Copies of this chain bind each other. A is one copy, B any other.
């Protein structure tokens, strides 16, 4: 299972009921944030999922509406008595940005590690396999994919046929080899074919790129910026390196995502719902995001 919640759905500048960019994912009690705009700690407090188990923060890029809430978040996590390391992922230059922001929070009760990414890397955190893709914005900006693996089903029939005692089954189920009467048994001897896991993609602050549909391929959920709803704003989107609703929907469609949540709305876009049909005419299963909108993605499909 993977819980996801949009913490803030505003782009560039906040509105009273639409704060700046952030989303949170939770897998087996561990959490990771995708971006951390100003107000993230306040919205997370409203959400009530706690802070102690946030073990990673993935930053798309260093514009303030995506990162200015980082110091407040780290302090809030510190006040929740976390002692384990927290890893921040982001584009090259991350360490300099984190050091700059931490001028006002030099001391924390847990270690913070920065991992700078060029795009294309795979990395692991909070029971999740992450990957990233460099996109096309005014500054270096990464799209992220979050993948939760699904364990392979165990075949009791195969295990019995191999005379493997029941007390060793659990180890094999956990994909560890076991030895029994001088012979080694491999997980693949008793596990059925790999099963598809859960995939969530997060794309913000970019123009469409040719790599994006492949990157989001078969996502259970694509969280994607829709800075502009009105097709008449297409030129603004080109100029400011953002996506329109229609372009976000095209990425979802080409990548065969199952669902699209639009987020990161321009402050000038007061009623994103007014343009929902523009997106739905391209990709039917489109939803307009709002702050603290949540969903649980589950394996049982």
Chain A residues with a Cβ under 8 A of chain B:
12-16, 19-20, 38-39, 41-42, 45-46, 62-65, 67-69, 71-72, 75-76, 79, 96-97, 99-105
Other A-B contacts than A14-B45, A38-B68, A38-B71, 4 sampled, CB-CB below 8 A, are: A14-B72, A38-B42, A63-B104, A67-B104
CB A122 to nearest CB in B, in angstroms, measures 27
Q: How far is the CB of A131 from the nearest CB of chain B, in Å?
A: 25
Min Cβ gap A18→B in Å is 9
Chain A residues touching B, majority SS = helix
Given A64-B71, A100-B103, verify A14-B41 contact (CB < 8 Å).
yes
| Contact present for B71 and A42 (CB under 8 Å) | no
Cα(A39)–Cα(B46), bound, Å: 14
Cβ–Cβ < 8 Å partners of A20 in chain B: 72
Residues of B within 8 A of A39 (CB): 38-39, 42
Q: How many copies does the complex hold?
A: 2
Residues on B with C-beta less than 8 A from A97 are 103-104
The answer to whether B62 touches A42, judged by C-beta atoms less than 8 angstroms apart, is no
> Quick one: closest B residue to A12, CB to CB?
B79
Given the complex of chains A and B, what is the CA–CA distance between A104 and B91 in angstroms?
13
Q: Is the Cβ of A96 less than 8 Å from the Cβ of B100?
A: no
Instruction: Report how far A62 CA is from B64 CA in the complex, Å.
Output: 19
Shortest distance between the CB of A225 and any CB in chain B (Å): 18
Measured between beta carbons, the chain B residues less than 8 angstroms from A12 are 79
Shortest CB distance A96–B (Å) = 7
- Which one, B15, B19, B45, B105, contacts A64 given CB within 8 A? B105
Say whether B103 contacts A104, CB under 8 Å.
no
| Listed A/B pairs (21) with beta-carbon separation below 8 Å | A12-B79, A13-B76, A14-B42, A15-B45, A16-B42, A16-B46, A19-B42, A20-B72, A38-B72, A39-B42, A64-B71, A64-B75, A65-B72, A65-B75, A68-B71, A68-B72, A100-B100, A100-B102, A100-B104, A101-B103, A101-B104
Minimal beta-carbon separation of A239 from chain B (angstroms): 16
A264 → B minimal CB distance (Å): 16
CA distance A39 to B105 in the complex (A): 17
A133 CB, min distance to chain B CBs, angstroms = 22
Considering the complex of A and B, which 9 residue pairs feature the smallest CB-CB distances, nearest first?
A: A100-B103, A38-B72, A100-B100, A16-B46, A64-B104, A14-B42, A39-B39, A68-B71, A64-B71
Closest-by-CB residue of B relative to A75 is B64
Among B16, B45, B71, B103, which residue has its beta carbon within 8 angstroms of that of A16?
B45
Closest B residue to A14 using CB positions? B42
How far, in angstroms, from A16 to B7 measured CA to CA in the complex? 13
A45 contact set on B, CB distance < 8 A: 13-16
Which one, B64, B65, B68, B101, contacts A100 given CB within 8 A? B101
